[in-house]
Amino acid sequence: MNTFGDNFRVTTWGESHGKALGAVIDGCPANLPISEQDIQNELNRRRPGYSIFSTPRKEEDKVEILSGIFEGKTTGTPISGLVFNKGQKSKDYSKIKDTPRPGHADLNYFLKYGNYDYRGGGRSSGRTTIGNVIGGAVAKKLIEFTHNIKIIGYSTKIGKIKGDFDYYKNPKFFESDSNIEKLLKKIENNPLRCPSKNSDEMKDYVIDAMDKKDSVGGIIEIIIKGIPQGVGNPVFNKLEGKLGSAFIGINAVKGFEIGRGFEASELYGSEMNDAYHIYENSIKEMTNNAGGIIGGISTGSPVVLRVSIKPTPSISKIQDSMNLISNKDEKIEIGGRHDPIIVPRVIPVLESMAAITVADLMISSGYINPCRI
């Protein structure tokens, strides 16, 4: 339903044009140093207006923490945070409330529930991921503070334009903390959150789609660095199963890969298998084609994930639909303010869900004390 996790649980609530949105985080241990600003910093990365390629809807997305943090540390009680909506323009949707928007959940929600909030997609809107990011900010802080785990997300492909930077082009790059710090700055300074040298070509591709009143999607790579060996469980509680569930729960996600992913189907076993050797008295993998997970359990190597993001369904082109009242075919022209590409804004959401998943499983796997830090 609206809660994710077993030990570290995040419940999100709110609609796109409602009064507010937020999250309740239950299961975070006491004594974790965290501030409202730490959470705000993550929300700022998801906020509208991040770049020329995001919706012109103006929102501060200023978080208010209501409980669970006292004098700069968690108390072990539920952490509750909310963000008030201030820039919604619900009248933009009144003219099309009876005409389902192609690519959106409007029709499915109507057929299943009979009553739904049509304004901006209501509960199915990407804006509801504010709650995911609030929960993810706490989870990120928890896993980094206790185990120095870092989560890095960036786009590797925009539409049909493939970038020249990804994990498997240079795995050793991610062994250096200095490299990662430089990479993070490069990602955040790019409007598409793309570190590839050909990102300008990607920008032109998006601008061309905008000129055609259309939208584009892309591929995001997520790296989880520093996760210890042994996180996750066999069969139904696998690390990759939990991550897949977390990512697919984001509406824009249409595909999910681990390690070499679908490319693995083209490789020989001798090419795919990660051989072992002894390095500094420890067992190490010579490669990381499995993407840091084998048998549902982390290997200690970086976890490598890729996610396919569909084009923004709200486009200005006239499309075919039907009227729920007259039960007749009808054309629809969507007004309002929309992202021509949501890939860069989805990145902090995916990072958040990865952090929540890892925090949850690290508690169940015994790496984090569920009571106190």
Ordered structural domains, the chain, with CATH: 3-364 (3.60.150.10)
Distances (CA, A) of 86 to 62, 317, 320, 356: 10, 27, 32, 28
Which residue, 6, 8, 1, 44, is CA-closest to 24?
A: 8
What integer pLDDT is reported at residue 90 of this predicted model? Answer: 61
From first to last of the 373 residues of the chain, give the pLDDT tens digit.
Answer: 799 999 999 999 998 888 999 999 999 999 999 999 999 999 999 988 767 787 666 678 999 999 999 999 999 999 999 999 986 666 667 778 899 999 999 899 889 988 878 787 777 888 999 999 999 999 999 999 999 999 999 999 999 999 999 999 999 999 999 999 999 999 999 999 999 999 999 999 999 999 999 999 999 999 999 999 999 999 888 999 999 999 999 989 999 999 999 999 999 999 999 999 998 898 999 999 999 999 999 999 999 999 999 999 999 999 999 999 999 999 998 876 678 999 999 999 999 999 999 999 999 999 999 999 9
DSSP 27-71: -PPBT-B--HHHHHHHHHHHSTTSSTTS--------EEEEESEET
Q: Binding site for FMN: which residues?
A: 123-125, 251-252, 295, 310-314, 337
Q: Binding site: which residues?
A: 46, 123-125, 251-252, 295, 310-314, 337
Q: Binding site for NADP(+): which residues?
A: 46
What integer pLDDT is reported at residue 55 of this predicted model? Answer: 67
Strand partners, 321: 330
pTM across the whole model: 0.94
